[in-house]
Amino acid sequence: MDTYEINARNRIQRYPQRGHYDKATVYSILDAGLICHATYRHAGGLTTTPRLYARRGDTLLFHGSPQSGFMRAVAEGQEIICSVALADGLVVTKAVANLALNYRSVVLFGHGRLLHEADEKREALRAFTERLAPGHWQAENAPSSRALDAVAVAEIVIEQAAAKIRNRLPDDQPAYRDLPLWAGYLPLRLTASKPQPAAYASPQARPFRVPAFLVAETPPARSDD
């Protein structure tokens, strides 16, 4: 199926017209993000941790310490809830009560597993590397068997998901429009500063390619959404 089933858990209640359940929209937001917040049960309650991730098909990939609470939760078969939010622009109205943010966001639910076979761990880490630092994975710097043993790699299947997008231009009520104040829209996007090479970096080596999430343009705002 090309869309996620709408149910009580993922249905957008507030401004339902901003909800999107098609996989193309969900995947595009995940691919444009850098950090997700993963929620799971830990120490008798719920906890949320920020994590780097990579999408591969209908799954999210994570890596980290085998001793982390997140990896233990995945190994226990817990449901994992992940959220990703992109700040696309600051909406500045003359009436301060209506200041707002344009955004794209996804909340997803799924279960997963830890990868144990060396080949599948290596391929998952390669996909992870290609998302964060395209072209940096080489035969010479690929993880050794010892390095693979020291890291946990998790794969979460996206079972349910919903996206929500706000994409509006400012629109003040008539009572505020004549005030001698500025109103407008300030687009935002993730960017990078000049790279700082390590002292031991090879002088002739070039940095990896710019990741896609750094070059993607912010969607233009509209008069309605």
pLDDT in tens, 67-76: 999 999 999 9
Is 162 within a domain?
yes
| Structural domain for 43, as ranges | 16-87+101-167
Residue 219 per-residue DSSP state: P
Is 122 within a domain?
yes
- Count of domains observed in the chain: 1
DSSP H helix total and E strand total for the chain: 6, 11
Is 68 within a domain?
yes
- The answer on pLDDT for 224 being more than 80 is no
Is 24 within a domain?
yes
Global pTM reads 0.92
Return the CATH number at 130.
2.30.110.10
Report which of 160, 163, 164 is spatially closest to residue 1, judged by C-alpha positions: 160
Is 178 within a domain?
no
Is 187 within a domain?
no
pLDDT at 225: 65
Is 212 within a domain?
no
pLDDT at 209: 85
SS (H, E, C) 13-45: CCCHHHEECEHHHHHHHHHHCCEEEEEEEECCE
Percentage with pLDDT > 90 across the chain: 82
Confirm if 170 and 185 have CB atoms less than 8 A apart: yes
**Cα–Cα dist 96/100, whole Å:** 9
Confirm if 189 and 213 have CB atoms less than 8 A apart: no
Tens digit of each residue's pLDDT (9 = 90 or more) over 42-54: 999 999 999 999 9
Is 185 within a domain?
no
Phi, psi of 82, deg, nearest 5: -120, 145
